[in-house]
Amino acid sequence: MSTPIYHVVGSYLSPYVRKVLVCMDLKGLRYTIDPIAPFLGGDEFEQLSPLRRIPVLIDGPRVINDSSVICQYLEDRHPTPSLYPVDIGERAQARWLEEYADARLGEVIVAKMFYQRGPKRFLFKEATDETAFNHARDVELPACLDWLEPQMPADGFLLGALSIADIAIASFFRNAAFVRFEIDAMRWPRSAAWLQRMFALPAFARLAKIEDTIARVPLPEQAPVLRALGEPVSAETLGTTMPRKGVMRLD
């Protein structure tokens, strides 16, 4: 049976998309990608993604929303290598850490930091909320790290083998790096060392080169740059040039 080719909708700069792409890489899955920012999705995008969010996975006639649902779907369809612990209790813990990343790190790193300094400023031409940004950087993200640090392993991964928990949390700290937040190794030594190990994995390192290249390229010019880098960018796009705010509003 030949490996199916999936289609992913969503920008390489999104931590939720990164989670999916890392899982696909680790499972050896092929895909094409329409690397749009959610805010530039047109009406057809909204039909596929009613919350106007990325990523969306398209598998033939099936449309799957939400990075956690997508990663679980890929795991169910391609169980080897498994990215979820075998033990039921550890599997629940992995899913909780994934949810913590998606919800809390998403709120702090994406909504209050990355969105404020990126799309809000450059796409919507609105001022960054510097108070929210500084509070997220100086108070909220340190509190997240205070919670994560005691759970971090001295070596290896969070729950023994590499799992969705590691992939999800590390995906968000890439976006923290985009807005120049580095984990202080004096204050959170295990977290800092774990993140270095995560970023050294080929699946993260390969994407990092692409992310670093497109991070400063205006959104409409990213597709040709990605194609030149050899990325499997689809000919068709759901993107437009007219920015629109999401359904679940970011401030």
Ligand X SMILES: N[C@@H](CCC(=O)N[C@@H](CS)C(=O)NCC(=O)O)C(=O)O
Binding residues for ligand X (CB under 6 A): 14, 16, 38, 52-55, 66-68, 102, 110, 246, 248, 250
Q: Determine how many CB atoms are found less than 10 A away from the CB of residue 70.
A: 24
Least distance between ligand X and beta carbon 14 (Å): 4
For residue 123, the minimal CB distance to ligand X (Å) is 11
Closer residue to ligand X (CB): 123 or 250: 250
Least distance (Å) between residue 247 CB and ligand X: 6
Q: Compare residues 26 and 164 and give the one whose CB is closer to ligand X.
A: 164
Residue 189 CB, nearest approach to ligand X (Å): 29
Q: Which is nearer to ligand X, 35 or 55 (CB)?
A: 55
Which residues does residue 32 pair with via DSSP β-bridges, in sequence order? Answer: 7
| CA 229/CA 211 separation, integer angstroms | 11
Q: Are 34 and 85 in contact (CB under 8 A)?
A: no
Compute the distance between CA of residue 33 and CA of residue 89 in angstroms, rounded to an integer.
34
Closest residue to bound ligand X by CB: 246
| DSSP at 57 | E
Kindly report the backbone phi and psi dihedral angles of residue 195, in degrees, each rounded to the nearest multiple of 5, phi listed first: -65, -40
Question: Nearest distance from residue 216's CB to ligand X, in Å?
Answer: 18
Query: 94 and 85 in contact (C-beta within 8 Å)?
Result: yes
Tally of CB atoms within 10 A around 204: 22
Q: Which is closer to ligand X, CB of 192 or CB of 222? A: 222
| 132/193 with CB nearer ligand X | 132
